[in-house]
Structure 1
Amino acid sequence: MNNNIVSENNIEDKVYSKSRWLILAILVTQPFMACLDSSIVNVALPTIGQKLSITMSSAEWIISSYLIIISAAILIFGRLGDMKGKCKVFLNGILMFVLGSLLCGISNSITTLVISRIIQAIGAAMVMSTNQGIITDIFPPNERGKALGISGSFVALGSILGPALGGLIITYLSWNYIFLINIPIGVVAYFFGRKHLPISKSTNNVSLDKYGALMFVISTIFIFSSIMLSQQLGFSNIYILSALIFGIIIFLLFLFIESKIKNPMLDLLLFKNRSFSINLFCAFIAFAALSTVNVIQPFYLSDILKFSPSEISLIMISYPAVLFIASPLSGSLSDKIGSKKLTLLGLLFTSISLFLISSLNEHSNKLTIVLVLCLLGLSNGLFQSPNTNLIMSSAPKNKLGIAGGTNALVRNLGLVFGVSISTSILYYRMSNVAGYRVLGTIPGRDDIFVYGMKGVYILAGIVCLIAFIFSLIDGVKSLKSQNN
């Protein structure tokens, strides 16, 4: 029985004390688990593909199914968090994530593994949609950047431990254990969460917009699944094209209906706030760019440079290691000098990092790779916490759940979009050179993979530069409005 039940209006008074740091410690376990799981899977993907006898394009569904379902479900749980209580949704999400991890761990085929990843993704959506809202709820503005920075550092910590643990598990144990490791962490987080989180007693009697929720889920699944399948079947395939058009039509219908009803699942009025919209756009671009590195780099290191799993783990650690240090420092600094300057600097450095990564080839050495990944880690460390602070601070208090859900959704859409588009561009460029459809590395033709990879990173760098310009214009306009 949880003794921390309070009314929605009194949560702020209850937690604006030293207990908020204990609550933060509980909250950061979720992004830690999610990033631990994600980084382990990224490193283990080549091994899983070999063990299950599947191609690179099939193995990508282990990542893509997870991201697609999170994107499809996260708005629903963000809305439910505002209606029923964010802490309740958060705790139930931990249980669902643990269940999904258990099922992933005992899977013995690509089909059962993808289904289990879907269950895991539902749990991840529940906690990701409420985590930022709870932090914003319990921390005053002068400490919010620091708190979000600490949360970001645990994201990095999960990413740091993931490759190392992944390398050890793949070397000495079965790949199944990369999922089972989530279970003890989740159980401990749930136990302390039940004891200390301020479970809100909601007085909101508004019902969920079920039709809007259904339309959003359908549109998200159809749009991104068709993009993924197009890699194998091509966009000219009538079924792929029909599914994509159907998904877009349903999404447009969703937006139209949401703009007309009284209590929508997605409050479109939030997007009338320029700061909210611009910073969401920048988050989408930054995470899409980041996912190009996450999905392509392990195959580059494994198949092109022929590094062992343990070597790949050590190299990939360099990015989150720097992020782990930079994120809380950036969050604390944003409380003092403002978040906008740091987001601009982070976007600019991200663009530079991607241009540098595009220069890697089949002869690149470990030190060069580590240095460019460190710069990418610094760039994202500067960007993520201040960007989240700008988004959440521009949302009304009674809409923090849906604002946090929207922020998490946009970031995950960026990850899904980045995986889908980057691999599509990679295969397209490789196929043009090879003269036939390519869905993976070609033995003896490392130069073709490097050619495809270079194009992906250059395009990602250009898009990040465009986001930097948009954010700079927004900053100038905000400064002018303040002076007036």
Structure 2
Amino acid sequence: MAQTITTTKVGPNYKWVVLSNTTLGILMATINTNIVLISLPSIFHGININPLDPSKTNYLLWMLLGYMVVTATLLVTLGRISDMFGRVRMYNLGFAIFTLGSILLFFTPGTGDTAAISMILFRVVQAVGASFLFANSTAIITDAFPAHQRGLALGINQVAGIVGNVLGLILGGILAAINWRYVFLVSVPFGLFGTFWAYWKLRETALVNRHQKIDWLGNVTFFVGLIVLLFGLTYGIEPYGDAPTGWGSPFVLGAVFLGLLLLIIFVIIELRVPDPMFRLTLFKIRAFSIGNLSNFLSSLSRGGLQFMLIIWLQGIWLPLHGYNFEDTPLWAGIYMLPMMVGMIIVAPFSGWLSDRIGAKTLATLGLFLQVAGFLLLTFLPANFDYTVFALLLALMGVAQGLFSVPNTAALMNSVPANQRGAASGMNSTATNAASVISMAVFFSIVTLGLAASLPTTLTNGLTGVGLPLEIATKIGHLPPIAALFGAFLGYNPMSTLVQPAALQQLSQANQNVLLGKTFFPNLISDPFMVGLHAAFYISAGLCLIAAIASFFRGKHSPALAQEPAADEAVYILEDEAVLTGEA
């Protein structure tokens, strides 16, 4: 095949343009993850839906997890397509699609089921746009920066994601109090500006191969397999019959089995097709395979745990310290800030240092510190001293900052330049898929822990304030997930579990006790901590395995420092031997 070389001229400051634009994109995408979490009560109230109604909990579940499920299933496919048709082009498209999704959400029509379904679909549109941003931002940064500056650049980019999580909580609390539609409107000006800026300033500086064919069979099996698997895991959180979780449901078990089977078929397909959507031979690169494994295990350990920590704050600690339930979502975000601050301080520094000494020491140390953090959390009582809690959160943030940036930089440095889109997509898929799996697993662990003792504890507590035994027993055997969701959304769980007719049978004094700030936290604290401690131990074990794997990732390669930056020598090559890394 004839070789065509086209030189792309970019200025010496181009890499900083790339970093600033991709940072804006990640900031916008991460803001919209948490801004919805904290705004859900106002959103559901605005469309006249009770999310804790058993017939409506699917809406709650998919508003919470749908965004993550879609991004997890699309990232590898979009990363591979971006390698074929241009990362900047696909990234720009993602900015535009995300902005369109935000506009559609702002104008969500109607109320009730129609509005809820429309919002879930529009969130899917947002998720598609975010998938383009997530799949390409890391690869575009890697293309633009020389190897000796990539860690610093990726660290700054990841800080934007951390800041976005914090801003999402704060903006969500402020805007939802004014009008729930403003929660989605806030993204529109940033999206319009970012889209225009990206189309105007960003240039294609990567190796592009327009002669490869799209691996349709591989794409379909991967997408369907992963989304069916994540569907099954997601519905495993919901009760099934008299069981507190859905792990005995034929639908859940069938979905998990079918999803895993399709993913196995996907691997077989990828080993046989000439132009696979993801070259599994990249796993022969030790830094790439260990980087992905460590990232997956680390994400598995912490994805669901962050939700558990928030429920711990909202359902137990904050009410015991005098906060109204409706105020707990915002304050939980504020009290989680030490973890964010630890990551913000350490991430750029660890990226800069990894450019000089490599990823092995920093990433492995970060994972061992996460192990220590999870184990130390098991020593805290339900009503803890916040100073100790804040120090442990800061330790967890520092640990994640030490691990994440060096691990990502080493992973991206290890692959051929023409495979960076797929590599970035796989790394992001590992993060997002592990987070969904983690939420399903840890919600289930805590729910099962509650189900073992909460019925007796709750029944005794309700009879103690005067409810008849028959009514108290019925309430005590309601699915505990309803209480967890209620606390997470900022509702007083007792007001959602006890019907108004039952409340009327109590004296005003007993009603005040039942609906007070301390009744539910005192009842749930012991059963909740049993499940939470089990989740901490599992997370510590996962991080320990990741740390051992990270230790064997290999040494820093000085040869990487010789790779030119985008503003030093950039060529778009259309030669198959070069593009497949075989030249």
TM-score between the two structures when normalised by the length of structure 1:
0.91
Query: Does the Cα contact within 8 Å between 1:64 and 1:419 map onto a contact in 2?
Result: no
Query: Does the Cα contact within 8 Å between 1:97 and 1:119 map onto a contact in 2?
Result: yes
**Shift of residue 93 of structure 1?**
0.4
**Partner residue of 1:135?**
141
Give, in whole Å, the separation in 2 of the partners of 1:62 and 1:360. 32
**Partner residue of 1:380?**
400
Q: 2:275 is matched by which residue type in structure 1?
A: N
Query: Does the Cα contact within 8 Å between 2:38 and 2:330 map onto a contact in 1?
Result: no
Q: 1:209 is matched by which residue type in structure 2?
A: D
Q: Size of the alignment, in residue pairs? A: 470
**Partner residue of 1:276?**
288
SS at match of 2:482: coil
**Partner residue of 2:357?**
337
Q: 1:252 is matched by which residue type in structure 2?
A: I
Query: Does the Cα contact within 8 Å between 2:305 and 2:439 map onto a contact in 1?
Result: no
Give, in whole Å, the separation in 1 of the partners of 2:395 and 2:41. 25
Cα 1:45/1:294, change in 2 over 3 Å: farther
**Partner residue of 2:196?**
191
**Partner residue of 2:273?**
261
* Deviation string, structure 1 residues 63-105 (Cα, Å, up to 9, x no partner): 3111111111111110111100000000100111112223333
SS at match of 2:553: helix
> Does residue 242 of the first structure (1) align with residue 239 of the second (2)?
no
**Shift of residue 8 of structure 1?**
7.8
- Write the mapping of 1:58-457 to structure 2, written as runs, cut at 5 A: 58=58, 59-107=60-108, 108=111, 109-170=115-176, 172-199=177-204, 202-232=208-238, 233=240, 234-305=246-317, 306=319, 307=323, 308=327, 309-434=329-454, 436=477, 437-441=479-483, 443=494, 444=520, 445-447=523-525, 448-457=527-536
Query: Does the Cα contact within 8 Å between 1:163 and 1:317 map onto a contact in 2?
Result: no
Give, in whole Å, the separation in 1 of the partners of 2:15 and 2:27. 18
**Shift of residue 456 of structure 1?**
1.5
Give, in whole Å, the separation in 2 of the partners of 1:426 and 1:8. 57
Query: Does the Cα contact within 8 Å between 1:78 and 1:129 map onto a contact in 2?
Result: yes
Q: 1:236 is matched by which residue type in structure 2?
A: G
Give, in whole Å, the separation in 2 of the partners of 1:399 and 1:121. 23
SS at match of 2:549: helix
Give, in whole Å, the separation in 1 of the partners of 2:306 and 2:41. 13
Give, in whole Å, the separation in 2 of the partners of 1:43 and 1:367. 24
Residues 309-318 or 67-76, more deviating: 309-318
Cα 1:103/1:424, change in 2 over 3 Å: farther
**Shift of residue 47 of structure 1?**
5.6
Query: Does the Cα contact within 8 Å between 2:152 and 2:352 map onto a contact in 1?
Result: yes
Give, in whole Å, the separation in 1 of the partners of 2:167 and 2:5. 36
Query: Does the Cα contact within 8 Å between 1:163 and 1:316 map onto a contact in 2?
Result: no
The higher radius of gyration belongs to 2
Cα 1:319/1:48, change in 2 over 3 Å: farther
Give, in whole Å, the separation in 2 of the partners of 1:8 and 1:222. 42
**Shift of residue 141 of structure 1?**
0.7
**Shift of residue 256 of structure 1?**
0.4
Cα 1:314/1:116, change in 2 over 3 Å: same
**Partner residue of 1:33?**
28
The one of 11, 16, 28 equivalent to 1:21 is: 16
Give, in whole Å, the separation in 2 of the partners of 1:417 and 1:39. 18
* Deviation string, structure 1 residues 265-322 (Cα, Å, up to 9, x no partner): 1111011112211110111122222212332223222222224244223212222222
**Shift of residue 43 of structure 1?**
3.4
TM-score between the two structures when normalised by the length of structure 2:
0.76
Give, in whole Å, the separation in 2 of the partners of 1:77 and 1:479. 29
Cα 1:343/1:236, change in 2 over 3 Å: same
Cα 1:412/1:354, change in 2 over 3 Å: same
Query: Does the Cα contact within 8 Å between 1:164 and 1:317 map onto a contact in 2?
Result: no
Please list every run of 5 or more consecutive structure 2 residues that lacks an aligned counterpart in the other structure.
241-245, 456-476, 484-492, 495-519, 560-583
Residues 343-352 or 367-376, more deviating: 367-376
Higher helix fraction (1 or 2): 1
Q: 2:50 is matched by which residue type in structure 1?
A: S
Give, in whole Å, the separation in 2 of the partners of 1:35 and 1:21. 21
**Shift of residue 25 of structure 1?**
0.5
**Partner residue of 2:551?**
472
Cα 1:112/1:200, change in 2 over 3 Å: same
**Shift of residue 451 of structure 1?**
2.5
* Deviation string, structure 1 residues 428-473 (Cα, Å, up to 9, x no partner): 2211223554213364322222322222222112211121112123
Query: Does the Cα contact within 8 Å between 1:86 and 1:130 map onto a contact in 2?
Result: yes
Please list every run of 5 or more consecutive structure 1 residues that lacks an aligned counterpart in the other structure.
1-6
SS at match of 2:336: helix
Give, in whole Å, the separation in 1 of the partners of 2:88 and 2:102. 21
* Deviation string, structure 1 residues 229-278 (Cα, Å, up to 9, x no partner): 12223222222222221111111111101100100011110111122111
